[in-house]
Amino acid sequence: MILIADSGASKTDWACVSRINSTCIRFTSQGYNPNYITGPQIVEDIKANLPTELDPASVDEIYFYGAGVTELQYPFMTDTLKQVFNRAEKVFIAMDTLASCRALLQTEPGFAAILGTGANSCLYDGCNEGFNVDSCGFILGDEGSGANLGKRLITDYIRRNMPEKVYDLVGKELGHNNDELLDIIYTKPFPNRFCAQYAKFINENLNFDPYFPNLVTDAFQKFFDLIVTHYPNYWKYSFNAVGSVAYHFKPLLQPVVEAYGMTMGNILKAPMEGLIRYHLENPEV
């Protein structure tokens, strides 16, 4: 059995698939960004979410794609996963950007992006991730992501940088005063997840006031200005992306993509179906 994991900032999607008959067992767990979670916490959470029909000893190969999993973290993630799946002969670890490439493009070269809780992007050579303009994460960047949208909404609310009727609506949704919001973001764990949860609220109120679509459009424009346009000859590629933000805000994303000279390509809510196909069709990887 091969075990595939797509681990984002909010959650991890798992699929355990048989190369013989394509039997598939799916489950989810929390996100495992190694910058914010320990090995024992990961092990405990995986065991707590394993389906009863999945025997860890049946896993021969593991392909783990994760947000924040740089090459420095590969040994840590390998050792951690082996504590649960100790009979796995192959453990492959990579950034979540490679998962997006393989899900979106399979073995075709091109440009791939992630616009979910976080943001990332890269060029792809058909097998491996290539040139990458770093998104710099939640604190310094992640423009266009759900966390970035939520952070901008909260910042505008604290500064009252929005129409009065929007301020009243946002205040009811947030349910915290300014000091409480700042305390949550600066002192509590996973502030990126806290901010990202409000992307859904923004999407639900796009027709309430121009403030909301303008906020999203401006975030996408900054994603292009600060990241996408720094790729060599970026306009020669189609724009392909995975993630809930790309998927749900596609009507606002497409005009920005086209305004920057790119054509709209594949947009997927999540990469897992594409990853399953990729690994079943490319067993040598």
Position 242 pLDDT exceeds 80: yes
Question: What is the pLDDT, as a whole number, of residue 18?
Answer: 87
**10-19 contact pairs (CB < 8 A, 24+):** 10/116, 10/117, 10/193, 10/196, 12/66, 13/270, 13/272, 15/272, 15/275, 15/276, 16/54, 16/58, 16/59, 17/276, 17/279, 17/280, 19/280, 19/283
Whether the CB-CB separation of 272 and 60 falls below 8 Å is answered with no
Interval 132-178: pLDDT, tens: 898 888 889 899 999 999 999 999 999 999 999 999 999 999 999 99
Position 82 pLDDT exceeds 90: yes
Whether the CB-CB separation of 36 and 189 falls below 8 Å is answered with yes
Question: What is the pLDDT, as a whole number, of residue 136?
Answer: 83
Domain ranges of the chain: 2-101+272-281
Specify the higher pLDDT residue, 278 or 129.
Answer: 278
Alpha-carbon distances of 248 from 46, 123, 268, rounded to whole Å? 29, 23, 10
Query: Lowest mean pLDDT: which of 20-29, 74-83, 203-212?
Result: 20-29
Among 192, 181, 96, smallest CA distance to 140 is for: 192
Question: What is the pLDDT, as a whole number, of residue 190?
Answer: 84
Whether the CB-CB separation of 60 and 86 falls below 8 Å is answered with no
Q: Report the range out of 23-37, 121-135, 173-187, 270-284 with the highest average pLDDT.
A: 173-187
Domain 2-101+272-281 has CATH 3.40.30.10: no
Question: What is the pLDDT, as a whole number, of residue 128?
Answer: 80
Alpha-carbon distances of 59 from 19, 96, 117, 212, rounded to whole Å? 11, 21, 29, 46
Question: What's this model's pTM, rounded to 2 decimal places?
Answer: 0.84
Query: What is the average per-residue pLDDT within 78-105?
Result: 93
Interval 31-77: pLDDT, tens: 888 877 888 999 999 999 999 999 999 999 999 999 888 888 899 99
The Cα–Cα gap between 81 and 240 comes to: 30
Among 174, 215, 178, smallest CA distance to 197 is for: 174
Question: What is the pLDDT, as a whole number, of residue 112?
Answer: 95
Position 124 pLDDT exceeds 80: yes
